[in-house]
Every structure is written in C-alpha cells, then in structure tokens.
Amino acid sequence: MESTFWYERWKQGQIGFHGLEVNTWLIKYWPHVTKSMENKKVFVPLCGKTLDMLWLQDEGYEVIGCEISPIAVQDFFSHNKLEVSRTIEGEFEVWQSGNITLYCGDFFALKPEQLEGCGIIYDRASLIALPESMRNQYAKHLLRLAQPQKTQILLITLEYDQEKMSGPPFSVSTEQINDYYQQHFTIECLSSKDVLNEAPNFKKRGLTHLTENVLLLS
C-alpha cells in the first residue's frame, strides 16, 4: 500500500475512518494507561485529524502526531480554529499549536529523537490501517522510536473474517498482536466487544461479526 492511496482517500473525502467525536474507548480506558505513569507526552501515529488529540491536550498532555496527508493536517488546525506555526524539519513539515505538534510526512522516516520523552503511544487506527505485509514493518519501527521499558501503548484494533471484506480497516488478530509486541510488552485486554450492530456499513459489506479489541501494552 503506497502513500498515494491515502493521499487519494483524503483528496476524495473517502475518510469514513475519521470519527466525528472523541473515541469513547479513549475516554473510558485512559485512566488505566496513566494510573502508574507520570509521563505527560503522547504519540499518536497515523493521526489523521482526530479530535482525540484535542481531548488529550485538554487532559494536560503534550501531543505529537504523525500524518502523511497535508489535507488532514491542515484540516485539523483549520477546523478547530487553532493558530499554527509551520517549520521544516528534515523530511517533515512540522505544524505546531499549543501542546500539539504534527509531523506531516512518512511515519517510517521518523527518528527516535523526534519522539524523545514520549512515554505513551495511542494507536486507535494505525495498525488496522495497514495490510499484513506492512504491519510487521510498522511495529518494528514503532519499537525503534519508543523505549518499551518506559512506554505504554493503548491499542484499539478490529477483528473480523478478512475473506468476507478487504480492508482498510484490516482485521488484526490477537495472535498477530502477540507476534508483534509480546517480546517487549505485557498485553492486557481491557475490552473485546462485537460492534457490528453499531457499524451498518460493515454489515453491508458482508460481515457477520466485527470485534473491537482495546488493549493495554505495558
């Protein structure tokens, strides 16, 4: 899956993955992530223009996001009426407002020093946005960027019969998550719920079940 795929999705407005409200799982389970953490810096990979970043800032966190689509980045700041400064840092155009900094560019070009001090990663729609051929590469790069011994990840995934529907979003099994992360993290399932009745578009695409998993990696 090339970056042009996501450029076109944003250009054509095909962004059904963008939530119009703050994610309910984030609000519900954030205390589980932070109860033993004093770190106040959060990384949101493949962030799009999610309102979750505003919520995290309002909770007192410094937010760093990475997004390949300039349309998504511009929309985030303009739609939320945020004054923004823009600079160039290596391969990235860096947009900054308040405690939110977005790196506009390729996630795989990020360097550890750009995430220095981040103790929390919030992945709502990154892992499931990638086909299986890219997910292992994504997980390995995320581990290079983070320090697992000092980092916690709140990970939200979807699991369904991939033969009935092609992604994105792609189905990511708990076995695959273990393959990617269990060597470095303890994996705790906070919630596992069939949400198909709340997602009629997925029903129309032929799914008979759609499980949303919320996981804490620590």
Task: Identify which of 61, 65, 64 has the alpha carbon closest to the alpha carbon of residue 34.
Answer: 61
**Using CA atoms, how far apart are residues 114 and 145, in angstroms rounded to an integer?**
8
Question: Mean per-residue pLDDT for 73-99?
Answer: 95
Question: Mean per-residue pLDDT for 2-15?
Answer: 62
pLDDT in tens, 134-147: 999 999 999 999 88
pLDDT for the residue 10: 63
Over pLDDT 90: what percentage of the chain? 72
pLDDT in tens, 149-185: 789 999 999 999 999 988 788 999 999 999 999 999 9
Question: Could you give all domains of the chain from N- to C-terminal order, each with its CATH number?
Answer: 3-217 (3.40.50.150)
Q: Tokens 């290079």 sit at which residue?
A: 144
pLDDT for the residue 11: 63
Cα-based distances in Å from 9 to 2, 46, 65, 72, 123:
12, 14, 19, 10, 20
pLDDT for the residue 3: 62
Give the model's confidence band at 123: pLDDT under 50 very low, under 70 low, under 90 confident, else very high.
very high
Token representation of residue 163: 């033969």
Cα-based distances in Å from 88 to 30, 63, 66, 102, 103:
32, 18, 14, 12, 9
Is the pLDDT at 18 greater than 60? The verdict is: no
